[in-house]
Amino acid sequence: MALLPDEMDVEKLNKTILCYAETIYRFNGLWEGPDPLTPLISLFLIQLTFSMGVIHLLVFALKPFNQPPFVAEVLGGILLGPTVFGRITAYRKLIFPNYSFRILEPMAHLSITYYAFLVGLKMDVKGIVRTGPKALKVAITGIALPFSIGIGLYFIFNIDKLERAGCLFWGATLTVTGYSVLTAILEKQQMLHTESGKTSLSSALLNDVCSWCFLALGFAVTSSHSSFQWSLISTIAYALLCIYYLRPGLSWLIRRTPEGQGYSEFYICSIVTGMALSGVITDACGTHPMIGAFIFGLIMPNEVLEATIVDKLEDFVMGILMPVYFVVCGLRTNVDVISEGTSWLIVLLVILLASGAKVLSTLSITAFSGLPLDEALAVGFMCNAKSVMALIILESGQIQGVLSTQTYSVMMLAILVMTMMATPAAIWFKPVQNIMPYKRRTVQKAKSDEELRILACIHHTRNVPTIINLLRTSNAKPRSPISVFALQLVELVGRASTMMVVHSSRKAGPRNPSHIEVQADQIITAFDNYELRSEGVVTQVITARCPYTTMDEDICTVARDRRAAFLIIPFHKQQTMDGEMEDINPSIRSVNEGVLENAPCSVGILVDRGLPESHDHAQNIAVLFFGGPDDREALAYAWRMADETDSRLTVLRFIAASEAAAAETDASSPTAAGRSHHHLSLEIDDEREKLLDDDYLGKFKMATANSRSIRCFDLVLNDEEETIKAIKSMDEHNHDLYLVGRGRGMASPLTSGLADWCECPELGPIGDLLVTSEFESSFSVLIVQQHTESVRSREGSYRSAASMVYGDDMTVRESAAPDSELFESFGSFKKWDHEN
């Protein structure tokens, strides 16, 4: 035995010495050494930038194929791993050296911890309780059968069978249905409100919750074989503690925050700190920090707080942190080792059977669930869409040492294939919509003995009295019925999911209803009472939960599905106690503008400037008629209101003095046909609208000549100033309801100057004047926009208004001449006596 040198300290040989890496960052930059990528921080930032660039490039490249971003993220991770770019030695040593895992791995798990917190915040727990029986059966079989198939495939493929616990992770992976990924696919294909779409989403929500349970179970089982039951029990105990003690405590703190004050940065940071502590506790219990983060997000009691946290964290987590996790998953994937000890035929068979697990589960319940075969196939293929949850389960299995690189890589390919199949399946099984357009898209086209279908949009219960007042005024009768579809619009906030609920009947709600459920019950009660107290009325209440960005599309979809002829939308302002109009929500204005642009039927913007207290419907109605399709639609609706009712209708036709003089000159001039050819098309359109106005007004006056409750007047005015004075002077006649057109399709000298000063251009010049000006009386205003046919259909013929009127079964007569006894013409509005 060699002698030790005298200077060696033997006592220090058995002591542990901590060594610190000298390459975390540089003190002197490039001057310290030739390799700028040696420090871990610099290398990580380059890896982060490189991975973000590749993934975003793939997202852009796959857009024409309608693939969800998740496919690009998984594919990007695989490309950056040893399967593709990792084959290049210089790339592997320079960009992703082995020692970089010391920082990549912790950052990846930090990202999924934040991701789990966001998933918990956005998960709609009440949506699980509302799951229908059909979706519940699909969800249960979609969990049990794929889990069993995954376990069987694992033992078929895994040759050595050394790690039997790996079957849990394969089975749990196949049970996952990515709710967020599936929602994006269905929304893009406009299938959210189809039967297959609703069934898929409802079952996916339940699958999501069960996937977290499987993940916690897998961690508990694989962490310690001897004490896994204690890990499981302690995690469950902590979850119950959060539900029954921590959640009420958070609710108490939130209630102490003054309403409308918002949540400060300190408040948000405190919540995020609580999430981190929750992760530490579940990690100590023997599962994983992301389980604690998920539970903490799930118990958050306030939707506004949830939305605030999501807005602040989501872009950072999903856009910056999560690419690191996808890269780590890709670095663990190696396609080269998949066929080791087996054949590619068996690998393809395993992937094929794994992809068919969800389809087999939905097909197996067609006999006893009432699910049609084609819908079962659609639901099965669409439920194959996976999400980050599937990657988390797989990667956790490899970290725990129960999944080899081979078994991990096979299932990664299966996840990629299954998710890529979801979009083509959604396109293939998309229900064929009825391409035959419904004819009754306007009130003017509706016949007197036909059902009038109205869609009334409701943002808040304060909209209900005004809408029901208008509906009562609409004069429903058994021979001229009205079907009303009340659409409650709810903003998608917090963990709530996009949905549409049709309330078939009023029934007892939950013991502790939410604010939205209380409002829905009030709306149902109001419309039930309206139906019971009216003849010829059928009502149905629908609740649509969607973001404001797509709310106009959902409104138009419901109007098209219900074949509505008229669509009522509330104005985005309400009247205050001092008579001023204040904004309720600026987002509603954007929704209204989108509806006006894309509506499949006529639209009315209903403005409430106070309701009459003595009556439940309008009794003194005024129509301000300037000409054009919108004004004709307003007159058609008013005609229906005043037909055989106690309501009085006054129709005021505003005529420009210059137009009246020109009309007389043109009628007497022998050169009227010699106009400039350059302006021919414009004058033809203008003359066509005037012809339609005269024709429709003539028919209206002939039909109502003997009615004592309907009076018509012509007002000949010079300019917009006289128009403003005339309209404001109407305040003394105490009208309950004004109907005006939005003013498209007809230019009048009496309104041309008003359009430049409109505060709300969507109302048109006259509607804006009635809404923004000061009036002493209380009334409602309905600004009407008529649904116009396409240019092609309008070019086909130059028809009279006779085929487009309310009451098509009546004989059409010529328009009345200006000197007819059917109306009076005044040069001054002050000469009009409303009572005589």
Dump pLDDT digits (tens) for 31-74.
555 565 667 788 888 899 999 999 999 999 999 999 999 999 99
If pLDDT is split at 50, 70 and 90, which confidence band does 576 have? confident
The 10s digit of each residue's pLDDT in 239-278 is 999 999 999 998 888 887 776 566 778 888 999 999 999 9
pLDDT, residue 752, reads 77
Helices (H), 161-264: 166-175, 179-188, 195-223, 228-241, 247-255
Closest to 403 measured CA to CA, from 217, 169, 176: 169
374 φ/ψ angles, rounded to the nearest 5 degrees: -65, -40
If pLDDT is split at 50, 70 and 90, which confidence band does 491 have? confident
Highest mean pLDDT among 323-327, 488-492, 610-614: 323-327
Name the average pLDDT for the chain.
81
pLDDT, residue 505, reads 59
Mean pLDDT confidence for 352-365: 91
Extended strands (E) in 392-549: 452-458, 482-491, 499-503, 537-546
Strands 581-583 and 573-575 turn out to be antiparallel
The 10s digit of each residue's pLDDT in 520-560 is 889 999 999 999 988 889 999 999 888 888 899 889 989 99
If pLDDT is split at 50, 70 and 90, which confidence band does 634 have? very high
pLDDT, residue 35, reads 60
752 Cβ contact partners less than 8 Å away, ≥ 6 residues apart:
720
Q: 3-state DSSP call for residue 343? A: coil
pLDDT, residue 33, reads 54
Mean pLDDT confidence for 352-375: 86
Residue position matching structure tokens 């649904």: 787
- Do residues 828 and 655 lie in contact, with contact meaning Cβ atoms separated by under 8 Å? no
Q: What is the DSSP string of 271-295?
A: HHHHHHHHHHHHHHHTS-HHHHHHH
pLDDT-wise least confident of 125-139, 223-237, 271-285, 744-758: 744-758
Mean pLDDT confidence for 220-232: 75
Closest to 319 measured CA to CA, from 45, 56, 44, 54: 56
Rounded Cα gap, residues 474 and 736, in angstroms: 14
- What is the rounded end-to-end Cα distance, in angstroms, of the chain? 132
Strand (E) or helix (H) holding 653: strand 648-656
pLDDT, residue 60, reads 93
What's the Cα-to-Cα distance from 591 to each of 275, 485, 786, 795, rounded to whole Å?
Answer: 36, 18, 18, 31
267: its two tokens: 């408040």
pLDDT, residue 11, reads 54
pLDDT, residue 272, reads 92
Mean pLDDT confidence for 568-586: 82
pLDDT at 628 > cutoff 80: yes
Strand (E) or helix (H) holding 648: strand 648-656
The 10s digit of each residue's pLDDT in 199-209 is 888 889 888 88
Q: 3-state DSSP call for residue 753? A: coil
pLDDT at 791 > cutoff 50: no
Mean pLDDT confidence for 796-813: 33
Closest to 481 measured CA to CA, from 560, 556, 539: 539
- What sign does the CA torsion over 548, 552, 553, 557 have? positive
Do you know the residue count of the chain?
A: 836
pLDDT-wise least confident of 27-31, 125-129, 384-388: 27-31
> 303-316 and 101-122 helices cross at what angle (nearest 10)?
150
340: its two tokens: 């080791």
Long-range contacts of 764-769 (CB under 8 A, 24+ apart): 764/630, 764/740, 766/624, 766/626, 766/727, 766/740, 766/741, 767/605, 767/607, 767/740, 767/742, 767/743, 769/724, 769/727
Strands 710-717 and 620-625 turn out to be unpaired
If pLDDT is split at 50, 70 and 90, which confidence band does 382 have? very high
Write the burial class of residue 261 (CB in 10 Å: 0-12 exposed, 13-18 middle, 19+ buried): exposed
